[in-house]
Amino acid sequence: MYRQFPLSRINGKVSQHCLKVLDNETKRMRDLSYQVHERCGCAMRVTHGLPCACQIHDSIVAQKGLYSSQIHSFWKTLVIGDGVNIPEVVNDSTEEAAHFRSLIDEVMESDPAVRRNVTRIIEEELHPDHSHLEEPHINLNTRGRPKKNDTRRDRSYFEHVNRQHTQRSGDPEPDPSDISQCRYLNLLPAPMLPYISSWKDVIGDGNCGFRCVADFFFGDQNQWFDARETIANEIAGHRDLYERIYGLGRLWMNVERIRWDGGAVGERHRMVTIQYLFPIATWFNARVICLGVGLVPTCYYPCITILPLRARNGVRSPTREFVIATVGGSHFIRLDLVPDSPLPPIAGWWTEHHEDSVNGWDQAYQLRRDMWDALVR
């Protein structure tokens, strides 16, 4: 039972009772659903020195699992017999080294382009002084063919990979109006499949969440940078409002996490939290629906609906419906739903922190909410 994610890494390195306590805390995390961060209380972390529900949630979202470094040494101490005073504590560095070697083996078996990319990242981390390269001087006295003024660019590595994934063996690109052709079909909530009218898979370069935003609101997923800046500026421009969502002292950390213009990104700058959807709903005056399935088929998490936190003068309701789905733990795709489809629960943060200008907006969707409750019951 304890060999399963997220306890697999600490199985055999902490006591059986510790594993049982963490297993119960994981079940509590699922019961708290989308309100895990605001209702966790973090008592387990304070009283037992163990990861609490919200920490377990974050480790699952990041697909890392739990590490022994997160466990107090009390739970890693083995004492047998009387008079044994020297505890044997698991060496965290050994665990990290084993994990790193497993990643190296995985990279070595990957595509050569992936190996080159990972090699570059590691080299930049270990030898930052080697990366200060200057642009070459332009030779204006050229001969031969005239300069081509075509503004079209070559596809990036991630675009090639994404295209190859959809066109292996000469297969045509999947029809976005046919949900049965979606490669992530088994990762979407099964009761919602009849209500999905179309889908779109964006490039999986770490910007995928923001690409979905850009594709829907700007009509071009390659404007992901503009989507990031729009969201970051919305948060920075209404600090008092968004501090209620992100927590005191955490607002600017999230703004800096959203702002990124360096191309493909790692975990630090990905869209990984539901809180990012609040400024999207507010700035674009949209109903934002996030669909996903938890670790077990009956756990429809993080299926949630987010409404604007405030309204501009004269606006009485959201004007658009933006649907995003979490698939595979770290990738997002965009969906379209048929009119008047079931609506997942409205975020508790919206109920608690919205401004008076949007009072009662949730009441307009009671029928759709009832449909959802009947669907997943």
pLDDT of residue 366: 94
- Residues forming a β-bridge with 346: 305
Residue 30 predicted with pLDDT over 80: yes
For residue 167, what pLDDT band results from cuts at 50, 70 and 90?
very low
- Which option is the CATH number for 178-376: 3.90.70.80, 3.40.50.12280, 3.40.190.10, 3.10.20.30? 3.90.70.80
Query: What single string gives the DSSP state of each residue in 322-368?
Result: EEEEEETTTEEEEEEE-TT---PPBPHHHHHH--GGGTTGGGGGHHH
- Residues forming a β-bridge with 199: 335
Question: How much is the average pLDDT of 296-321?
Answer: 84
User: What is the overall mean pLDDT for the chain?
Assistant: 79
Between CA 220 and CA 216 the distance in angstroms is: 8
Quick check: 199 and 336 in contact, CB under 8 A? yes
Quick check: 199 and 334 in contact, CB under 8 A? yes
- pTM beyond 0.75, yes or no: no
User: Between 239-246 and 251-258, two packed helices, what is the crossing angle to 10 degrees?
Assistant: 90
285: left (phi over 0), alpha (psi -120 to 50) or beta: left
Alpha helices in the chain (DSSP H): 16-32, 36-39, 43-48, 53-61, 92-108, 112-126, 157-166, 208-217, 224-237, 239-246, 251-258, 277-283, 348-353, 366-376
Of residues 324 and 153, the one with the higher pLDDT is 324
The count of C-alpha atoms lying within 13 angstroms of the C-alpha of 25, restricted to the half-sphere facing its C-beta, is: 25
Between CA 332 and CA 327 the distance in angstroms is: 6
Residue 162 predicted with pLDDT over 60: no
pLDDT of residue 168: 45
pLDDT of residue 311: 94
pLDDT of residue 11: 83
Question: How much is the average pLDDT of 71-96?
Answer: 65
Between CA 55 and CA 61 the distance in angstroms is: 10
For residue 271, what pLDDT band results from cuts at 50, 70 and 90?
confident
